[in-house]
Amino acid sequence: MRKETREKTGKRPAIGHGIARALDGMNLRKVNSFFLVFMMIISGFMLANNSMNAGADENLTAVPLPPSWNADFTPEDSAWNSDGTNCIVVGNDSTGQTGAWSYSSDTWNSLTPNAAMSTTYYVGTGAGNYSTTIQPAVDAALPGDTVFVWPGTYGESVSVRKAIDIVGYDRSSTFIDAGGVSGHGFYITSDWVNISGFTVKNAANPYNGIYLANSDHCSITLCSLDSNYFGVMLETSDWNNISYNIFSNHAWGMHIYLGQGNTVFGNTVIGSTNTGMLLQSADNNVLRGNSLSSNYNAIFFEEGSDGNLVQENVVSGNTNDGISISESSGNTLKGNNVYSNGY
C-alpha cells in the first residue's frame, strides 16, 4: 500500500513573525534548561526555512541593534533565513545568563523566558479553586500557565488549544471519565502541551482517551488509560513524548499515524483486543523499554512505517504477533525480550 502524502496545514509559520510568535509562546514556558530548548528551536528554524548558520556578528552590521545590547547583552551565535532579513540571536546578559532576541520587520524582541508571569489555576473542590471542572480553567489559562486538578472524577471531554501544563494530583485518584460525554478524554490541538497524573477512561468508539491532532513537542506522562477505544492516538503529530503510562483494556493501546520523531518509553500495555502499539505511515519513532502482554497483537508496523527503533521492550504472552512489520523498511530491532507469543 502506498504511503499517504503527509501534510500539516498551518503548522510551519512564515519566517519572521511566525517564528517570533512561536518563541513568544515559549517565553512563558517553565523549562529546566532554556538554552537547550532554545538551541533545539534554532535547529528547527534552520532546517525548516533553509537558513544558514552565522557568527554572532555576521549580518548584524546591516541592521540596527537594540541600545540595551551595549551593556546588557552579548551575542554569541545567530540563525538567519536565507536572505538575511530575519534572525534569532542567542547570547549572554551582563550576569552571564543565557538570553535570546528575534529580529523581524526591523523590530527586535527579547525572548528571555519570564516564569514569574505564569499562573496556576486550581480545579476541584475547596477554597481558592478557579472552577469545579477542568475546561473553564483550561480556557482561562494563557500559554505557559498550569492547570492543577485535585482528586476526583471529572465527567468531561477537555479541549486543549494552547501550550499549557495540565497536572492531576495523581493517576490513582484523579479521573477523566469520558463515558457520558461523546468525546475524547483530552483533545489536544496545540504544540507544547504537557499532561500528567490522570486516569483517562471510558472514551468509546470512535473516541480516544488522549488524542493529539497536528500537535508537536507534547508530553503525556504518568497517566493511566483504561477502557477507551484508543488509549492514546497521535495523528500528524511529531516529536512527542509518551512515557511511564499504563494502558489497559483498549481496542488499540497506542496509535501513531503519520507521525515522526516521537518517543514511546517505559509504558505498560495490557489487554488490547486488537494491537498494543500500532504505527501506520510513521517514520523515525523510538519505542524503548515498554512492556506489552496479554494483547492480541503487541507491536505492529504497517503502511510504510520506516526507520523506527524498537529497543529493549519486553513482549510476552500476547495471543497473536509479538512484533510484526508489514510494508515497511529500515526499522531496527535491538535487545528486545520477545517470548511466549502466538507467533
Domain of 213, CATH number, reads 2.160.20.10
* 159 in the same domain as 45: no
- Give residue 112's pLDDT: 57
Q: Show the low-confidence residues of the chain (pLDDT under 50).
A: 1-2, 9-57, 114-115
129 lies in a domain? yes
- Give residue 23's pLDDT: 37
285 lies in a domain? yes
Question: Which of 115, 137, 159 marks a domain boundary?
Answer: 115
* 127 in the same domain as 94: no
Range of the domain at 69: 17-115
| Helical ranges in the chain per DSSP H | 17-27, 34-48, 69-72, 134-140
261 lies in a domain? yes
7 lies in a domain? no
Sign of CA dihedral 292, 216, 228, 149: positive
- Give residue 48's pLDDT: 38
Q: Which residue has the cell 520587520?
A: 105
Sign of CA dihedral 288, 289, 292, 293: positive
Q: Considering its fold, how many domains does the chain have in total?
A: 2
Cell of 163: 501550550
- Do 158 and 135 contact (CB within 8 A), yes or no? yes
4 lies in a domain? no
* 196 in the same domain as 63: no
Cell of 93: 546578559
Q: CA nearest 117: which of 47, 184, 25?
A: 25
* 276 in the same domain as 314: yes
* 334 in the same domain as 259: yes
**CA-to-CA distance for 327 and 340, rounded, in angstroms?**
25
- Give residue 271's pLDDT: 98
**CA-to-CA distance for 236 and 300, rounded, in angstroms?**
18
The helix/strand/coil state of 131 is strand
Strand order in the sheet with 252-257: 158-160, 186-188, 208-213, 230-235, 252-257, 275-280, 297-302, 323-325
* 25 in the same domain as 153: no
**CA-to-CA distance for 192 and 40, rounded, in angstroms?**
13
3 lies in a domain? no
Residues 238-266 as b or e (16 or more Cβ within 10 Å = b): bbbbbbbbbbbbbebbbbbbbbbebbbbe
**CA-to-CA distance for 302 and 325, rounded, in angstroms?**
6
Question: Which of 64, 92, 115 marks a domain boundary?
Answer: 115
**CA-to-CA distance for 248 and 272, rounded, in angstroms?**
7
* 331 in the same domain as 194: yes
Distant-in-sequence, close-in-space partners of 125: CB < 8 Å, separation ≥ 6: 132, 150, 152
* 125 in the same domain as 103: no
- Give residue 78's pLDDT: 73
**CA-to-CA distance for 165 and 128, rounded, in angstroms?**
19
Q: Which residue has the cell 532554556?
A: 34
* 126 in the same domain as 109: no
Claim: this prediction has a pTM higher than 0.85: no
Amino acid at the residue 50: N
293 lies in a domain? yes
Question: Which of 48, 83, 115 marks a domain boundary?
Answer: 115
* 191 in the same domain as 292: yes
* 158 in the same domain as 145: yes
- Give residue 4's pLDDT: 54
10 lies in a domain? no
* 91 in the same domain as 149: no
Q: CA nearest 241: which of 208, 288, 203?
A: 288
Distant-in-sequence, close-in-space partners of 32: CB < 8 Å, separation ≥ 6: none
Distant-in-sequence, close-in-space partners of 234: CB < 8 Å, separation ≥ 6: 212, 215, 240, 242, 254, 255, 256, 257, 259, 262
